[in-house]
Structure 1
Amino acid sequence: MARQFDPLLVNTVVGFIGPEYLYNGKQIIRAGLEDHFCGKLLGLPMGVDVCYTNHADADQEDMDMLLTLLCAANVNFVITVPGSDDIMLNYQSLSHHDAVFCRETLNKPPAPEFEAWLADVGLADRRGNLLDDARVLAQWSSRLPLIGA
């Protein structure tokens, strides 16, 4: 049905329901891979929010394993939150650094448009490598307007 509407993207939030549906980390890993496979099979541009609820028998190592497997299988995108902790919905997810780790480890470049933007704003070099100079980030963030100001 989703293909009929030609969606820009869809995503699965694989461990969000919790142990009532997926009991432990192994089941979350399996379900995430199944969701990814079905998305590829259907030709959907689907990403994955690799996550688990605080009362599930899972931990961050399970999420790291699923992230690595998904990236090796060419997942379209993953959803990340600061510090891996979604405080609004009270579950654990991936951090922004997890996505960078996977891209660098598996030699997967970011989307070309995002890579160009990172270079244009001075956060990465033209080869897509993030700059690790804290002064660059401080200078860049000081140019951003404050939200609500």
Structure 2
Amino acid sequence: MLTDTVCAAASAAGLAVAFVTAYRKRFLAATRIAAYALLPVGLALTGILGWIADLVFKPSVWLGFGVLGLSWLLFLVVRAVEGRGDGTRKERRAAAERGGAQAPAPVAGGRPRGIKGAAKSGGSSGTEDFSDIEAILKKHGI
């Protein structure tokens, strides 16, 4: 009952501000203010404010949010640990059936493919690093 009165007063004040704004020939701003001013009354009439009040003031609801947060945290931990591993359980099983994970194939210069930072290692003339780019450019006629 009190929330309905507060919402009606807030809407009336907002509509008064919208009227003054429209009187000053700022119609777009007045329309926007009127739209915001009608929100509290609309929320009060739909009963959402009672639901929000129950949501805020019940400890069991906060306990439920805590459980949901814990669940979300566990999902994140599992995803992070799974991302670090050798893939999914199905991929690990398939690799074990093949006889273990195969080593990456070596490239010219003795560096294996698929290892991050391999292109930054020294001891090479650096010409094989651009061979792929040259092949692509030749393919497109550049």
Q: Same fold (TM over 0.5)?
A: no
- Structure 2 length-normalised TM: 0.22
User: Which one has a bigger Cα radius of gyration?
Assistant: 2
* Higher relative strand content: 1
Q: TM-score, normalised by structure 1?
A: 0.22
Compare relative contact order (CA 8 Å, sep 6+) and give the higher one, 1 or 2: 1
The structure with the greater share of residues assigned to helix is: 2
